Amino acid sequence: MGTTSLRAKLQPLQEQLALASRGWTLAVCSANAQVAVVATLVLEQPLISTSASELLAQLGGPVERLLVIADDSRADGGADQLMEQLRRHPAIGCCRFLIYLPRSISDSRLEHIWQCAPEGLLSLESGGNGSGLRALISLLEGEHCLDSRFSTRLRLRFSTADALPGDCRLHQLSAAEQALIVDLARGRSSREIAALRQMRCDSMRRLLSALYRKVGVRDQRALVAWGLQQGLLRPHDLSAQLR
């Protein structure tokens, strides 16, 4: 596909991204030139840094909503350390992460980063087809994304370790339904989630009721417990009141 055709294909996604990113601070924290170049091509005036300290210096003051694109090869630490440091920072409100990883990453490292609960995981080799743009839009709209190559490896790994019971109901849930369970586990109310998704509160109640029936539970706490059992949720996802 030529450059002109590629730009024409990606333009609708870039316009959608521009709308979804209103009110967000977008940042790139990576020493990988490929990640930085791709991000600057698709984002409008992102903050560019190679370390967590550099990024914090660029922020300057309080930030209500921050989306960070990063990888796992910075000199001052990996993706896990970056996520922990920024999430603990008192000047940052909502912080979401899209982490790029090489396909060659070891299973143990992939599992560890996934356990740190990034909102998005993509392979470095997946660029060029709009996957990065679609992932960013999903994260900005409150959803999650996981590269199919990584999800397959994680499921095989957990299946081997008997950490996932393999309940077929997990596969029947849409990405939006799975993201809803994660948001509930992290302490967001149904009203807050409805506002984030630009839904009416009664529509959110109907969605939750349908989700309870689909999964086979009666309430939110049981839904979160089911998500933990299935491996959809990790201990890091749970808010203090649900622990």
Domain end call among 158, 175, 198: 158
**47-49 vs 63-70, strand pairing mode:** unpaired
Q: What is the pLDDT of residue 40?
A: 72
Domain end call among 158, 190, 224: 158
> Domain range spanning residue 74?
3-158
Same domain, 139 and 216: no
Q: What is the pLDDT of residue 79?
A: 93
To 10 degrees, the CA torsion angle through 183, 188, 190, 196?
-80
Same domain, 11 and 50: yes
Average pLDDT per 10 consecutive residues for the chain, totaling 243 residues: 54 83 90 78 82 91 91 87 88 90 92 83 77 85 82 70 44 78 88 85 87 83 83 71 52
For residue 13, what are the β-bridge partners? none
Q: What is the pLDDT of residue 170?
A: 60
Same domain, 151 and 181: no
Domain end call among 106, 123, 158: 158
Q: What is the pLDDT of residue 66?
A: 93
Q: What is the pLDDT of residue 24?
A: 92
Same domain, 130 and 205: no
Residue ranges in 21-130 assigned as alpha helix (H): 33-42, 52-59, 79-88, 107-115
Q: What is the pLDDT of residue 199?
A: 84
Q: What is the pLDDT of residue 5?
A: 54
Please state, in angstroms and as integers, the Cα–Cα distance from residue 233 to each residue in 110, 129, 229, following that order.
16, 29, 8
* Radius of gyration (C-alpha) of the chain in whole angstroms: 18
Same domain, 135 and 70: yes
Q: What is the pLDDT of residue 35?
A: 80
Same domain, 134 and 172: no
> Whose CA is closest to 115, among 242, 225, 228?
228
Give the tens place of pLDDT for each residue, 114-149: 878 788 899 988 755 678 888 888 888 877 788 888
Domain count, the chain: 2
Look up the CATH number of the domain holding residue 125.
Answer: 3.40.50.2300
Same domain, 154 and 170: no
Q: What is the pLDDT of residue 163?
A: 40
Cα–Cα dist 101/90, whole Å = 28
